[in-house]
Structures are given as structure tokens and as C-alpha cells.
Amino acid sequence: MTEADFVIVGSGSAGSAMAARLSEDGKHSVLVLEFGGTDIGPFIQMPAALSYPMNMKRYDWGFVSEPEPHLGNRRLVTPRGKVIGGSSSINGMVYVRGHARDYDHWAESGASGWAYADVLPYFKRMEHWHEGGHGGDPSWRGKDGPLHVTRGPRKNPLFHAFVEAGRQAGFEATGDYNGEKQEGFGPMEQTVWKGRRWSAANAYLKPALKRQNLDLIRCFARKVIIEDGRAVGVEVERGGRIETIRARREVILAASSINTPKMLLLSGIGPAGELAEHGIPLVADRPGVGKNLQDHLEVYIQQASTQPITLYKHWNIFGKGLAGAQWLFFKNGIGASNQFESAAFVRSRPGVDYPDIQYHFLPMAVRYDGTAPAEGHGFQAHVGPMRSPSRGAITLKSDDPKEAPKIVFNYMSHEQDWADFRRCVRLTREIFAQAAFDPYRGKEIQPGSDVQSDDEIDGFIREHAESAYHPCGTAKMGRADDKMAVVDPECRVIGVDGLRVADSSVFPRITNGNLNAPSIMVGEKASDHILGRQPLAPEKNAGPWLNPRWETSDR
């Protein structure tokens, strides 16, 4: 097939969901265009191996930011999945819907029909939630969707020490941060099922590819072909030849918040001045394309452990081999979890009405690239603010589709960012100092006990802050009269017929937590808009828990 009713660019979180939903009733032909290769293999499918695929050229686009001026001109890696399943095949498998207030803010900022009451039914439709004996909020969760959501076994006592320490410091506990109450310390959820990474490819795309009306084409998408103001296809390169894959009804971009704006710009949709610089004929002057880039930054606070109970005991060739073999043959053991099994969402200060700090807790001191400190046994918290006021941009370096775009996040460009991060560092130290950690607490590995003043903490942040790999917002959804909006509330590109965007690019503002769940939700909801269906009925009575002390206390 080189022609279909719907052509989707990208097989990632949103793209896979749309491929499954648009082909479901058998009435429409659907083509998915994907440049990356197969996701078969232990590095992707084994949850504990998560640090490998995002560092492998085979699976990752290899994007790097420009030198970031407020982070000592460091260039930060920006992994995006170049593989079946997109970034859901290389991510950390953490499952977070986001806070209800995030979506209410979307609706208030012009994305009408995307308030929490509107999106909750889609979260339920996509989920198959397994409570797993850890408590939770069944009435808020989905029971029979394609996406399995589980909780790790939480056998390591450090997972419980972290939650107890939060309670001892005066914070809330929560049995289900994806339910009514996000705020607090509790178990973390993961997209892992029967010991395997449960990516959007495993959940949606592969089962759907058995249908006659859905096909996947391996190719490099160059740009959208637009004739008389209407998208009619996609120009692709495969086998060394440039050809056109035509869409009878619509072209849908789901190529990531990096590649989607790049394709829009190459297709003549974006700020007129920027396109003129590269000699690209203007199709629609949309100043917001590539702008509004947001991300989550985090630092790792690492503490030595006085007891040899951390994952470090497996951190040798024999231990890794054993864990790998156990996973390969039985799909269980430590290889079967991403090891993020406790979490927290807290508020940074009085007057903040819902959480703006996230914690991932790990019973080991290690970096995302898989390097462990020489100290040996330790534990760590990844911590960072959720709603940075900093905004960056994706722009073209040239009109060559093969050239990576220019990525400037402009991290830490507001004084508020620095105040929020200092708070994160000091708060983590307060939590690690609680009695619950007394049996385990050794010296502080990072930042180290000599880092105390604002200036010293700022220096640590400048040198060590890392992206949590949650880029979004580069083709934001809004009202048609908002000049910075790129798509309307039905995900239609403003000013071009037959073209939609449905991935994390459309987020008006970044959500609380990891972005895989909201990206899949966007694909689910966009599918109903594309098919012209009545959206699922909003759940008007599902209001989130808000801390009654929010105006006067941070806990």
C-alpha cells in the first residue's frame, strides 16, 4: 500500500494508540510510517535494562540540545525513540496520568474539551490497571484497556523507608497517585506486564497489525505534501528513493515534540520569517510552531547505605548475568521491574494548590547512563520541579530533512527555577534525615555534605541537573484565534485542511510527572475527533483531592 485513508507519521505512544483505534472498526485503511526498526530484544523488553536502549544509536534519534546558557553551556542529551513503539520502547516505563488541575489548566488556556472531566474517561479506556495488593482507587481506574499498568513488588525495605520518611516529615501518604489523590508518598506504577515492558507497540500496534486495513511502512518521512491548502500525503524516502504516500482523508503527525515541529516547518507551516530564512515556501504562518518547548529537569540526591541491601549487589558481571538469565527464562526477578517502585508528589511551599515537585526513588545510587559511583551501596531520589516557567524552542538548522533540528530548552532561565530547585535539594535532605532511614543512612554521596549555601547548591544544579526526558508543547493546542496555537481542540492544524498533530507536541503546558500516559491519552482522544465521533461523556463529579492546608502549609 502507498495510499490509505489515514497516514500516521510515527509509531510511538500516541501513534500506536491511533493506529489501533482508527483501524478498529475495519472501515478505514491506515498506514503508519516509522523510520526505526524492530523492538524485539532483551535491551528493550527487559524492564531493568532501561538505561541501555536510550543510549543506543540503534534505538534513539540521538538528539542533543544546543549549549544551555544557564547550565554552564552543557549540551544535554534528548533521547527520542527511533524504533517500533517510539519513546514508549526506550522510556523508564513510569506511569503517571498527571494531576487533574493540569488538564483543567489546558481547558482554561484554550484547549476546550480537555479538562480533567473530559480526559478521565480516556485514561480509563486505555488502562488495564492491576492493583496488586497495594491499595488504590478502583473507581478512578480502567479495568479492560490495552495498556497494562502494574506496581513493582516493593520487596526492598528502602522503598518503604522512603514512604515512611515522607510521613515522618509531615507529608501526606497516597495509595494511588493516579487516582483521586496525587499528593503524597506511595507506590509507583509502571507499564510492565508479565515481566515485560508494556510499550504502546505491545499494547496497541502489534495486535492491530493483524488487521487487513492496517499496515506499517519503514521509511524516513521528509515532509507533508500540501496541495491547495490541504494535506494530501507525506513525502518519504525508502530504499534510496523519494516517493509520496498519499492520504485520502488525513495526515496525522505523531512524530514526537522534536520531529513533529521539524516536519511542520519543513512543510511550510510555522513562523513566516524563519521559513523565509531557509527558502521554504509558506503554507501557513503559525508563529507557535516549535515554540513553547518545555521539559522536566531533575537532580539525583544520592546517599550511601550502611546495609548491603541495595541493587549494587547485582552490579557486577555475574549479578547482571544472573538477573538477565532469570528474566530471559522466567520473566521475573529484578530484571522484571524498572526498580522505580516508590514515588512522591509534594508541594514546594504554602500557597501552591497542587503538587509541583516529583520524586522517583531508587534503591541504588546510579546514573541514567548506567554508571554507578565508586562508593558502592547507596540509594537515591530523582527530584525536580514540575512547572518551570522556562520555555525553549525547536528551529531548523537548514531545509535538509536529514539534518537534526536546533534544540534550545533554555533551562533554568527564571529565578523561580533556582528557588524551586534549592527547595528540592533541601527537602530531599530533610526526608533522608528522618528516623525511617536511620538503619540505612551513610554519608551523602551527592551533592555531598559540604554543599549547603544557596550558591553552592546552585553550582551543583548547574553542573548536575539532567533532563527527565519529557519534552513537549512545541505545537500547542488552543483557540483558533490564539496566534501561538498550532492546533485547535480537535488537534487540527490551524490554517491547513486534512492535517492533524496528536502527540506530546500539543500539550499547552507540561503535566505533572512522566509523559507517556498523557501522550497515549492524546492519541486515544484524538482518534475520536478524527473519526468524527462524539467524545466519551465527561465525568463531571470526579474532583481531585486538594490539601485543605494548601494555603498555609507545604504539607
Which residues have a catalytic role annotated? 470
Cell reading at 314: 547485582
Those residues whose C-beta lies under 8 Å from the C-beta of residue 58, and which sit 6 or more positions away, are 37, 82, 83
Distance separating alpha carbons of residues 519 and 530, to the nearest angstrom: 16
Distance separating alpha carbons of residues 405 and 261, to the nearest angstrom: 9
**Closest listed residue to residue 45, CA positions, set 84, 97, 15:** 84
Distance separating alpha carbons of residues 1 and 466, to the nearest angstrom: 43
Q: Is 532 exposed, middle or buried (0-12, 13-18, 19+ CB in 10 A)?
A: exposed
**Closest listed residue to residue 429, CA positions, set 296, 343, 302, 342:** 302
User: How far from chain centre, in Å, is Cα 225?
Assistant: 29
Q: What share of the chain is helix, strand, coil (3-state, %, to 5)?
A: 30, 25, 45
Beta bridge partners of 477: 487
E-strand ranges in 12-166 read 30-34, 63-64, 77-78, 127-129, 147-151
Asked if residues 96 and 177 have their Cβ atoms less than 8 Å apart, the reply is yes
DSSP conformation letters of 489-523: TT-BBTT-BTEEE-SGGG-SS--SS-SHHHHHHHH
Question: Which helix (H) or strand (E) element contains residue 416?
Answer: helix 415-432
Distance separating alpha carbons of residues 391 and 387, to the nearest angstrom: 11
Classified as helix, coil or strand, 247 is strand
Distance separating alpha carbons of residues 445 and 432, to the nearest angstrom: 12
Those residues whose C-beta lies under 8 Å from the C-beta of residue 135, and which sit 6 or more positions away, are 175, 176, 187
Angle of helix 116-126 versus helix 100-108 axis, rounded to 10? 130
Q: Which is it for strands 269-270 and 406-408: parallel, antiparallel or unpaired? A: unpaired
